[in-house]
Structure 1
């Protein structure tokens, strides 16, 4: 009982270390990330893929209102896992930082520089009293002079660079799949397929409305978010669509063929 009371004393303040060197509020923020729907990032030779699980909990919810992939600048995309409201605050910070860099230096901000600016901002909330840490992790993907880059941010304010990474719910299962199937020479399309198959390891069904995909092409250096129709094509091509959707797709194809013949 005494040990429990002692822990409660240390986890009430963000600025107080426990005797064993832990910041409990930061650890609780990491738990919030683990409860979030997964996001996956894959770095390929052709660019960076960001994929998110946009789980819809009710048929009454507008699908477009679930935002987990964001454009931070023309060459940078960000995916999140954890508290959506916290993610929105950090996305706004990232967009301001990117625009300030363009105005001040007349050039796009480097992906690593943007990531470290964001993590510096996050880290301040682990040192200053009166505010809690951000309960969200971000995947920041972009292109610097034709070189794809992929970073993860942690609630502690630590940046990590990855070749492929998963954050959010069931991270370990998705990460195991990525480690087993990732290759250095993946194309951008193969990166999308890998991310979809990795998410399929923990999801019973993948639907265009329940998945969000963004890519940053290394050649053009531009961020693009895929439409539902484009995602449907990927899912159908790799036989990841539910049987009901496959039936609908074949019906649509037959109808189009009949119109063409007429």
Structure 2
């Protein structure tokens, strides 16, 4: 039987030490739209939508309006997802509520790290409660605060990590390998944009789409 007999139990570990429902959630993420983020910028990209770019010194400077895969949560943090869109919208609604509560109490935008921590706590809660299932989505959270540009990835298990560059969704292994080869700490903003485009080119975008992206950036 292996882990299959535990696949419908959210709160029971399998003999191999897994919560199998989380594995299913990660499968949903892996079959979702490829998304990537680069801290120098900040840049969030998804090939079905136009580039979103937060200028390094102008946090409110958007290259394009938000699409259904990108949501502004408060004054700075932006969420991008791979996985199930409805789950994403639920998390965005909860995160916006948390950001508004913080703003009303302290009269300033919520720090990116705190917003990530609160969102990850919600996702983790859905891995240990009866009658629910894990969120079938991973998030890239990008924003500016007192510590400068921040980029985090949050997984269905509630784990979150700070990244200089990361990718998720389809072809994630190829995308991360390419980012590891091309990313440098002294990368300029334009270089980061082109690196993001070339990363998506590694099996995600067609040559015609690449030409359209380059034309938009230039």
Bin for the TM-score computed over the shorter chain: 0.7 to 0.9
Pair 1:54 & 2:55 matched: no
Pair 1:160 & 2:143 matched: no
Greater mean alpha carbon deviation, residues 195-204 or residues 114-123: 195-204
Number of residues of Structure 1 aligned to a counterpart in Structure 2: 201
Pair 1:14 & 2:16 matched: no
Pair 1:29 & 2:25 matched: yes
Pair 1:104 & 2:99 matched: no
Distance 1:94 1:195 in 2: 26
CA drift of 1:207 comes to 3.1
Pair 1:205 & 2:204 matched: no
Superposed CA deviations along residues 93-147 of structure 1, whole A, max 9, x for unmatched, are: 1111111111011111111110010000000010001111000000000111261
In structure 2, relative to structure 1, the CA distance for the partners of 1:33 and 1:77 (3 Å cut) is same
The answer (yes or no) to whether the contact 2:29–2:169 under 8 Å persists in 1 is yes
Pair 1:38 & 2:37 matched: no
In structure 2, relative to structure 1, the CA distance for the partners of 1:233 and 1:54 (3 Å cut) is closer
**Structure label with greater radius of gyration:** 1
- Secondary structure of residue in 2 paired with 1:207: helix
In structure 2, relative to structure 1, the CA distance for the partners of 1:164 and 1:67 (3 Å cut) is same
CA drift of 1:66 comes to 6.0
Distance 1:29 1:114 in 2: 22
Instruction: Determine the structure 2 residue equivalent to 1:195.
Output: 196
TM-score in terms of structure 2 length: 0.86
- Secondary structure of residue in 1 paired with 2:44: strand
Pair 1:233 & 2:196 matched: no
Pair 1:149 & 2:150 matched: yes
TM-score in terms of structure 1 length: 0.72
Distance 2:140 2:118 in 1: 14
Superposed CA deviations along residues 159-200 of structure 1, whole A, max 9, x for unmatched, are: 111000000000000111100000112222322221111101
RMSD: 2.0
Distance 1:176 1:50 in 2: 17
Instruction: Determine the structure 2 residue equivalent to 1:249.
Output: none
